Structure 1
Amino acid sequence: MSHTTRGHNMGKKAKKEGETPCKETFEPLPVEGKTPETVVLLLSSPEEDILAKACEAIHTFAEKGDENKVSLLGLGALEPLCKLISNNNRLVRRNAFMALGIMATNGEVKSALKKKDVIPSIIDKLSPEEDTVVHEFATLCLASLSVDFVCKVQIFDNKGLPPLIQLLSSLDPDVKNNSLEIIFNLVQDQKSRLAVHELGGIPPLLELLKSDFPAIQRLALKTLQNITTDADTCNTFREEQGFEKLMDTLSNTDFSDLHAETLQVVANCLSDSESLHLIHKDGGLTKLMEFVLTPKTFDIQSNAVKCIVRVAHNYENRKMLHEQNVEKVLIELLSVADISVQTATCQAVSVMSFHFASKDSFRDLGGIPAVVQLLNNESVVLKEAATQALSNLTHSNHLNASAVHEAGGHEVLVQQLYGSCLSTVANSAATLGNMAAQEDIRCSILSHGAIKAVVEPLKSTNTQLLVNTTRCLAVLACDTEAREELQGAGGLHPLVNLLRSYHKEVLHNACWAISVCANDLPAAVEMCKYGALEMLKEINQSVNRRSRFSELAMISLLNSNLSVKYSLMGHLASTDVIYDGFYDAGKALAGQRILTLEEMCKQPVNKHRPIIVVNTAAEETVETEERQSNASETDTSSKAERRTPRKKKEEDKRKDEPLPESPTEKPWSMTEDVSLQLLIKEAKESIIPLTDEREQWAALARLVSEAMGGEVEMEKLHEFPWVLHLSELKFQLQSNVVPIGLISKGIYCHRAFLFKCLADCIGLSCTLVRGEYNRAWNEVLLFNRNPSRKERPAQPCRYIVDLMHQPGNLLTPKTPAAVQYQNI
């Protein structure tokens, strides 16, 4: 249009109503775009023909390389293309998809495309009515996007799976391949795996195994490998003759390049009994053994062994495999220079070890050293499998445990306890626990630092690791040296913390380990300090958590810490021999932890009742008493004196410790009790020579009574100044802890305490029972002689010893005199 004409038109008057408009047409103008900028601008044209040609030109340009794709992205081509894939014109839509699909294969373009809400539009064009070319490039676009988790969710949520499964039956191989790739990416997630099964995806996937294109066959197998991890899917797979089709593939030498992937699917399918039946029926097991015995590739070998692993989960199959000498084959495979083969073989050894005869075969054929050797490999997966194999091989098999020890496996396994793979640590602990049942092996394991190594695993939250580690510890801590090492390494605290576990096996094993560690007084005291008794008491009151293990742990702790036992239970049996450091802190209050003697000694003087303590050995007399103990011929005197070296050791240890920095904190020490030493000496000299038991008890009772203020009449008991006397002792000592020998005015509880102490020191047996309101008494057993027949009865008689009112008198329980002695 000329400038003159434009001017003329601008000056025209408005046409009158009813006039017919002028019918002028625009002659077509051929457009030739020589730069990508121009073509991108044409994507905004309102004319469909121009749009189609522009999209075609962009597709051609983008096909030439990634630089062109990125250039188009920079020019803003992505936005209009995302709109044009929904254009009403079929040709525009097809060409737009071709351009977008090619561009989406570039990483930068894909990242930009993820930010656009284009996935619903793409899925909408997967319908059967669309052109095959649209299907090809739409699926190409989705294949690029589906590697991203967010995009996978969008594809699934926008119901992309149904049309994609339909497209698996497309006549176009590119459409099949792209659709299959998208499905493969989606089935990495559980919900998509289940959906493919529910939407009927198994038959078309199996049909693709017949494809002329190896890439499609391999991708179909990989997809099947993912979805057959579900039991229901395996059932459908079997119903669709999937298993038979896999075996056909394995039997076809032309498909040897697919055998590795096929065997992986077979391994999944062998998880149920029906498939196991099929493999027997069609000679599949023989075929699997051929793949194992005839090396082709490492992938094929390892996957064939994985199938053997699945087959061996069945008892009858293990028996059959053993009869076919599978152990010999597996041992040979352990030396194959491929980690995947070695790992799968170790897994097979683990499963076959559930067959007792196979355990012996592996040992007899020299397989155990071969597995031990694999522990030195740097592969985390292989070490996990090797330790699992050793755990199963040594379970309930002492000969195999010895074989592992002879191969040096114990040393490597101890080091594995420091590893980062929890399964490997758990397997190593289980194996060491199996081996440590033999004393010589246990000593060897301990010599390599096993106790220190188990401390860190005790702090784990992994259930299986805790089950195996606590069991291992319970077996290892069978001697005092090991328990001392555990205490020194800080292992008692995490062990006690496991009493909070609600996992049955963890709790049982923790209780077992605690009962073993409680055999040493220092360990028992420390565990009580961490609240072990309170937690065990709570456990034993629970219907669901109580067990014989928790009861045993409670008993062991109490028996090893008689002070706590007496405080909690109010009763010491005649077999409970008290020792230096034993103290009576009174009856334990509900919910309150019983303090250790050290903690009590450090407390400032208070108004509460004193803590009465036993200290039979002075530092300068220990060596003399020890010599006397060694020279003594009687069990009675040595029983008490054997404890003095431990006391000396503890005091020497305390002397080496630095004094507390705080000026207000009292140093930990026990006051020497010379009076008690003299009483013990007198008891040994005057009572042991007596030949009559009654005379011995009576003489000991009189000795105790005289030491603590003599006979006190019942009516004048309130006048006896024992309270003032104890207060004065506390003031003099500047301590709440009072040695029993310093008490010269004592009543029931003090005299019964001293009586038990002296009786234990000279080898006599009596109980110590706490009553109410400072009452306590001792019970002894005596055989009453019949004057006429002079024969002892079958059962001894029990008596309560009077130490207060008629010292030496033996009271028959439940008589008025005995009841009066025991109660106010």
Structure 2
Amino acid sequence: MGKKVKKESETPCKETFEALPVVGKTPATVVLLLSSPEEDILIKACEAIHTFAEKGDESKVSLLGLGALEPLCQLITHNNKLVRRNAFMALGIMATNGDVKSALNKIDVTPLIIDKLSLEDDTVIHEFATLCLASLSVDFVCKVQIFDNNGLPPLIKLLSSPDPDVKKNSLEIIFNLVQDYQSRLAVHELGGIPPLLELLHSDFPVIQHLTLKTLQNITTDKDTRNAFREQHGFEKLIDILNNTDFSDLHAEALQVVANCLSDSESVQLIHKDGGLTRLMDFLLTPNMPEIQSNAVKCISRVAKSSENRKVLHEHNVEKVLVELLSVADIGVKTSACQAVAAMSFHLSSKDLEFIRVSGGIPAVVQGLSSESLALRQAATQALSNLTYNNKHSAFAVFEAGGHEILVQQLNGSCPRMVANAAATLGNMARHEIICCSILSHGAIPALVEPLKSTDTQVLVNTTQCLTVLACDTEARAELQRAGGLQPLVSLLQSYHKEVLSNTCFAVHVYACEESAAVEMCKHGALEILQEINQSVNRKSSYSELAMISLLNCNLSVKYSLTGHLASTDVIVDGFYDAGKSLCTWNSDLTCTTKNTDNFTFIHTHEDSAKDVNTHWMY
């Protein structure tokens, strides 16, 4: 008999093993478990990675090296909510490390995270998803991805989340995004102003500070300022400034107020609830330089209104500004200089006189020697405005030795500072004594390099300054010796109206020296001016004046082109009439003309502009 065999069951057993607890002894083992098909294992593996990553940066980098990122990025879209939650917790904590952040930027995970912000109602997922995006959004590429994938709408919505961590993370992302213009516009268009204003009342200082920093960025846009004002944002800022319990917020609140005061509508609101008086109080706040600096910015914008200037004058604002020009803090000094610059065109002559008599101008001149570029820029701007059509201010700068430092600054690398220095020197040089001293410090050679600048304002101010300094033969000859005539002639090709006008006038002034006129013609000045004067758009009285001045060095050519001579034109050593002609200057400074009889004359200019030799050619 054969061995008896047990009969197999026809149907499989429906019983299963109970779930086994998973304990990974090493991080490498846990990372491998992220690929498991079992949901319970995935939940525990993600939880273990989150716990391990919380230990510090070394743990986060270790997980990165073990390849934990890619499976975690896949698991944030898992069907199981608990798997998603734990995966987001692990990913969010890891993303706070710089190396992990760099690796995540190479993975297209941003759209997946944004999708969960829109669809999920799990606060924990919101917290760690926004934590991850907050780390990534520092990078420009990620900011573009967030914007392009419509990340702003859900982030703005999350500003009203009941969870403070979600609010804080979402706000941080928005703050990073609004560094760029398109996001600043989008925030107010998407209704972001009301929830931001609501966050000013948060119980968490970090949220309040982030909110004010965000508002500071978005209120640089005029349309956003309008929306901010319509939501009574300006009044809420004044409430903060009037509340001593919020003293830690005052510096940042003042920065937002300064932006708002760029608009006349907000300036009118400053009178409500004693806002202007409060600003003046901040100016006098001792040992609070940041608050003082921001308050000065506000005052300078308020002072653009004549009505406000009257009120400020009653509060002795000029005296306060002069005092602030001499404080130790560089930021306060810089703001004070900026305020003086902004207010100079608006203050009365009496107020300007007070600033001068009170020692304000020497204090500004001292700022020219500061190591701070911002202070030097502000000081040169203040002096440029103070000396504009103001003889007393010009002499005050001169007596303080400011002209010597300004000449040195003409060789600086900052275009704004060079432009301001040239403008100030030009203002001061209108007074003969000061002009002579400026020239003695080498101003004209120092202006040659700025003539080669690509900055329009530098060129406008430099050409103007050169014209004012050309007070005598020696000054005009100095520009020629310094090699300044060629770059000056090159500027005749500019299509900027003010640069061209100033250049033409400078050519006219320097052309009264025969040698300078001849050299400018060698560099093609006459041909360029002929072309300009034939242009409907570029021709001006200045270009015609420059042309005549150059022609004065060759009266035969002048008569040939214009058909007449002035009573001041003196003919020496012969003269010829070529008749009506078209004149073309050659590179060797000969001028070839053809008259109506098709005779060709070649006029050569040799030792003297008045000594003309004529060669006849048939």
Mark the CA change 1:322 to 1:546 in structure 2 (over 3 Å): closer, same or farther: farther
Give the aligned residue type for 2:390: N
| Equivalent in the alignment of 2:595 | none
| Equivalent in the alignment of 2:409 | 416
CA distance in 1: counterparts of 2:308 and 2:15, whole angstroms: 90
Post-superposition Cα deviations, 1:346-371, rounded to whole Å, max 9, x if no partner, equal: 01101221123232221122211111
Alignment of 1:478-627 (within 5 A): 478-569=471-562, 571-579=564-572, 590=582, 592-594=584-586, 611=603
Give the aligned residue type for 1:408: G
| Equivalent in the alignment of 1:306 | 297
CA distance in 2: counterparts of 1:522 and 1:588, whole angstroms: 27
| Equivalent in the alignment of 1:131 | 122
Task: Give the counterpart of 1:196 among 140, 163, 187.
Answer: 187
Give the drift of 1:49: 0.7
| Equivalent in the alignment of 1:476 | 469
| Equivalent in the alignment of 1:244 | 235
Alignment of 1:639-654 (within 5 A): none
CA distance in 1: counterparts of 2:221 and 2:366, whole angstroms: 36
Give the drift of 1:587: 6.8
CA distance in 2: counterparts of 1:210 and 1:416, whole angstroms: 48
- Give the alignment's Cα RMSD to 1 decimal: 2.7
| Equivalent in the alignment of 2:447 | 454
Give the drift of 1:45: 0.7
Give the drift of 1:27: 4.6
Report the identity percentage: 73
Mark the CA change 1:40 to 1:236 in structure 2 (over 3 Å): closer, same or farther: same
Give the aligned residue type for 1:280: H
Contact 1:42 1:54 in 2 (8 A): yes
CA distance in 1: counterparts of 2:301 and 2:583, whole angstroms: 53
Post-superposition Cα deviations, 1:756-811, rounded to whole Å, max 9, x if no partner, equal: xxxxxxxxxxxxxxxxx99xxxxxxxxxxxxxxxxxxxxxxxxxxxxxxxxxxxxx
Alignment of 1:719-758 (within 5 A): none
Give the drift of 1:584: 6.2
Mark the CA change 1:296 to 1:259 in structure 2 (over 3 Å): closer, same or farther: farther
CA distance in 1: counterparts of 2:39 and 2:326, whole angstroms: 68
CA distance in 1: counterparts of 2:240 and 2:421, whole angstroms: 40
Secondary structure of the structure 2 residue equivalent to 1:223: helix
| Equivalent in the alignment of 1:51 | 42
Give the drift of 1:544: 2.1
Mark the CA change 1:103 to 1:486 in structure 2 (over 3 Å): closer, same or farther: same
CA distance in 1: counterparts of 2:539 and 2:240, whole angstroms: 57
| Equivalent in the alignment of 2:596 | none
Structure 2 residue ranges without an equivalent (≥5) = 593-598
Contact 1:55 1:92 in 2 (8 A): yes
Contact 1:583 1:612 in 2 (8 A): no
Q: Rg larger in 1 or in 2?
A: 1
Give the drift of 1:26: 3.5
Contact 1:36 1:72 in 2 (8 A): yes
Task: Give the counterpart of 1:315 among 283, 306, 323.
Answer: 306
Give the drift of 1:232: 1.1
Give me the TM-score of the superposition, normalised by structure 2.
Answer: 0.93
Give the aligned residue type for 1:448: H
Contact 1:521 1:561 in 2 (8 A): no
| Equivalent in the alignment of 2:348 | 356
Give the drift of 1:251: 1.0
CA distance in 2: counterparts of 1:548 and 1:599, whole angstroms: 24
Secondary structure of the structure 1 residue equivalent to 2:271: helix
Mark the CA change 1:33 to 1:442 in structure 2 (over 3 Å): closer, same or farther: same
Task: Give the counterpart of 1:227 among 218, 238, 242.
Answer: 218
Mark the CA change 1:331 to 1:31 in structure 2 (over 3 Å): closer, same or farther: same
Secondary structure of the structure 2 residue equivalent to 1:171: coil
| Equivalent in the alignment of 2:428 | 435
Mark the CA change 1:325 to 1:22 in structure 2 (over 3 Å): closer, same or farther: closer
Contact 2:240 2:253 in 1 (8 A): yes
CA distance in 2: counterparts of 1:414 and 1:403, whole angstroms: 16
591-600 or 503-512, which deviates more: 591-600
| Equivalent in the alignment of 1:61 | 52
CA distance in 2: counterparts of 1:153 and 1:564, whole angstroms: 63
Give the drift of 1:528: 1.4
Give the drift of 1:436: 0.5
Contact 1:586 1:611 in 2 (8 A): no
CA distance in 1: counterparts of 2:519 and 2:70, whole angstroms: 72
CA distance in 1: counterparts of 2:580 and 2:475, whole angstroms: 31
Give me the TM-score of the superposition, normalised by structure 1.
Answer: 0.70
Give the aligned residue type for 1:376: S
Figure out how many residues of one structure are paired with residues of the other and give that number. Answer: 606
Contact 1:583 1:614 in 2 (8 A): no
CA distance in 1: counterparts of 2:311 and 2:20, whole angstroms: 84
CA distance in 2: counterparts of 1:246 and 1:356, whole angstroms: 31
Give the drift of 1:539: 2.0
Secondary structure of the structure 1 residue equivalent to 2:20: coil
Q: Does 1:74 align with 2:65?
A: yes
CA distance in 1: counterparts of 2:131 and 2:90, whole angstroms: 11
Task: Give the counterpart of 2:329 among 334, 338, 359.
Answer: 338
Post-superposition Cα deviations, 1:656-678, rounded to whole Å, max 9, x if no partner, equal: xxxxxxxxxxxxxx9xxxxxxxx
Give the drift of 1:119: 0.6
CA distance in 2: counterparts of 1:385 and 1:39, whole angstroms: 60
CA distance in 2: counterparts of 1:536 and 1:587, whole angstroms: 21
Alignment of 1:640-719 (within 5 A): none
CA distance in 1: counterparts of 2:473 and 2:278, whole angstroms: 57
Contact 2:561 2:582 in 1 (8 A): no
CA distance in 2: counterparts of 1:483 and 1:442, whole angstroms: 13
Contact 2:174 2:214 in 1 (8 A): yes
Contact 1:566 1:584 in 2 (8 A): no
Mark the CA change 1:538 to 1:156 in structure 2 (over 3 Å): closer, same or farther: same
Q: Does 1:397 align with 2:390?
A: yes
Give the aligned residue type for 1:553: A
Contact 2:601 2:614 in 1 (8 A): no
CA distance in 2: counterparts of 1:552 and 1:169, whole angstroms: 68
Give the drift of 1:145: 0.1
Mark the CA change 1:209 to 1:432 in structure 2 (over 3 Å): closer, same or farther: same
Contact 1:184 1:223 in 2 (8 A): yes
CA distance in 1: counterparts of 2:575 and 2:561, whole angstroms: 13
Task: Give the counterpart of 1:91 among 82, 86, 91.
Answer: 82
Give the drift of 1:501: 1.4
CA distance in 2: counterparts of 1:541 and 1:315, whole angstroms: 46
| Equivalent in the alignment of 1:109 | 100
Contact 1:402 1:435 in 2 (8 A): yes
Give the drift of 1:281: 2.6
Mark the CA change 1:33 to 1:591 in structure 2 (over 3 Å): closer, same or farther: farther
Give the drift of 1:542: 2.3
Give the drift of 1:552: 1.7
Give the aligned residue type for 2:424: T
Give the aligned residue type for 1:555: I
Mark the CA change 1:589 to 1:61 in structure 2 (over 3 Å): closer, same or farther: farther
Contact 2:27 2:49 in 1 (8 A): yes
Contact 1:114 1:151 in 2 (8 A): yes
Structure 1 residue ranges without an equivalent (≥5) = 1-7, 601-606, 616-642, 648-669, 671-736, 741-748, 750-772, 775-824
